[in-house]
Amino acid sequence: MRKKQIQIGITVLILLAGAVYYWQGSKKSANESTQSNSPSTENLSVEDLIKQSAEEIINPSASQLKSSKSTITLSDACIREASQTFTCYEDYYKGLVKGQGVTAAFDDLKIRYDQSAYIKSQCHPITHTIGTAATEIYPGVGTAYSKGDSFCWSGYYHGVMEGIIGRISREELASKMDGICNAIPGKASYSFDYYNCVHGLGHGVMAISQNELFESLELCDNLGGSWEQSSCHGGAFMENVIIDNKNHFTKYLKPEEPLYPCTAVNDKYKTTCYLMQTSYMLKVTNGDFAKVFELCSTVGNYAVICYQSLGRDASGRSISNVEITKATCELGKDENQRLNCIIGAVKDFVSYHHSDVQAKELCASIEANLQETCYSTVASYYTTFQ
């Protein structure tokens, strides 16, 4: 059971990390995605769950986008003027939730998603805003969750947790954290709703601590299980990476030190940190994959997870294109770098397409000595979607 908990948590973290990469410049289109927006987590590892999460944040399914029937008339100044200021959209969607409800806010967002590159790039943070605003109307976790929508990879549920935690004093938070998600069904089976709750706690503690990352990680340690703690850590690291896209700033990212804060956190947090960090590393190196391979090579035992996360980003940037992804992974200087890049990439291919066909095409295209591991990775990972 403990092994299964760890596997589920790591899977989700890798998935979410991919979403962060999109906010830093990925170009995938929602209309190209054929994924379900509510993946099963029962058979997934914590690393692979995060990879898949990220894909869904970046690529809400086309069926979600087409399902909207809203005829809302938009007259807010920031919408009319195509503002690139997050605060403007934040205020707009808060007002929409208050005036017309959660469903109306999501209907509006789904319409705007393919009309505005800025809204597309900020979709997940915007859904955080909708979730936080919802807690003003529905102050209970269970009720607020029941009104939600998983569009843009469940940012709504993360925002709900930010709102719920915001009502708890910092002095009481450590003692109350472990019970906050008890009202969410599926705890025993590690349901995706339950994952979103404990992951959302990580975002919430960052908000209440005023983005003090190290304090937030320690607050996550008050949760009762290692799976819950890792999921919460992932939320905190994710918030740290995306925070400057929300017109806020963090002292725990340093352009001159692309590996920071992973180099500074306690060893027990490092795996989760590196699952998120490659997106930031690519941002500060202007998308220089060769440079990021080099940076990953310096992190010792965490290099493998770093290379695999980079493979996920290679797939993300190319819209899971075989030739481009192959060429990117070939920037690795040795077999270990290239192999783990391919492992991360084929998992992302499977997550994106919900099929093993395209991933097998990638396996067939690469150097012969890497193919066996590539095919076995595809086979084992694809079973999680059956």
Q: Which pLDDT score, from 0 to 100, does residue 122 have?
A: 86
Taking 80 as the threshold, does the pLDDT of residue 23 lie above it?
no
239: containing domain = 68-252
**CB of 84 within 8 A of CB of 46?**
no
Question: pLDDT-based confidence at 114, cuts 50/70/90?
Answer: confident
* Entry pTM: 0.75
Q: What is the pLDDT of residues 194-248, one digit of tens each?
A: 888 899 899 889 988 989 999 999 999 999 999 999 999 999 998 898 876 655 6
In a domain, 38, yes or no: no
Query: What phi-psi label fits residue 83: left (phi over 0), alpha (psi between -120 and 50 degrees) or beta?
Result: beta
Helix (H, G, I), strand (E, B) or coil at 249: coil
Taking 80 as the threshold, does the pLDDT of residue 260 lie above it?
yes
Taking 60 as the threshold, does the pLDDT of residue 331 lie above it?
yes
Q: In the Cβ-directed half-sphere of 257, how many Cα atoms lie within 13 Å?
A: 10
Q: Which pLDDT score, from 0 to 100, does residue 86 have?
A: 84
Number of domains in the chain: 1
In a domain, 288, yes or no: no
Q: What is the pLDDT of residues 120-173, one digit of tens each?
A: 888 888 999 999 999 999 998 989 999 999 888 778 998 999 899 989 988 899
In a domain, 210, yes or no: yes
User: Dihedral angle at the C-alpha atoms of 52, 53, 58, 64, nearest 10 degrees?
Assistant: 100
In a domain, 271, yes or no: no
In a domain, 28, yes or no: no
Which residues fall within 8 angstroms of residue 300, CB to CB, at 6 or more apart?
none
Question: pLDDT-based confidence at 188, cuts 50/70/90?
Answer: confident
Taking 80 as the threshold, does the pLDDT of residue 79 lie above it?
no
What is the pLDDT of the chain when averaged over all its residues?
Answer: 82
In a domain, 56, yes or no: no
**CB of 10 within 8 A of CB of 230?**
yes
365 compared with 142, residue with greater pLDDT: 365
| Closest-CA residue to 276 (of 4, 53, 5, 115) | 53
Question: pLDDT-based confidence at 259, cuts 50/70/90?
Answer: very high
Q: What is the pLDDT of residues 291-308, one digit of tens each?
A: 999 999 999 999 999 999
**CB of 217 within 8 A of CB of 265?**
yes
Separation CA 8–CA 225 (nearest Å): 13
Place of tokens 């590159």: 117
Q: How many CB atoms lie within 10 A of CB 81?
A: 10
Taking 50 as the threshold, does the pLDDT of residue 71 lie above it?
no
DSSP 338-353: HHHHHHHHHHHHHHHH
Q: Which pLDDT score, from 0 to 100, does residue 85 have?
A: 78
Separation CA 210–CA 207 (nearest Å): 5
How far is CA 319 from each of CA 57, 143, 193, 276, rounded to the nearest angstrom?
A: 14, 36, 27, 19
In a domain, 222, yes or no: yes
How many H-runs (helices) and E-runs (strands) does the chain carry? 21, 0
In a domain, 74, yes or no: yes
Q: Which pLDDT score, from 0 to 100, does residue 35 have?
A: 34
Place of tokens 């391979």: 293
Taking 90 as the threshold, does the pLDDT of residue 356 lie above it?
yes
pLDDT mean over 24-45:
42
Q: Which pLDDT score, from 0 to 100, does residue 56 have?
A: 46
Taking 50 as the threshold, does the pLDDT of residue 32 lie above it?
no
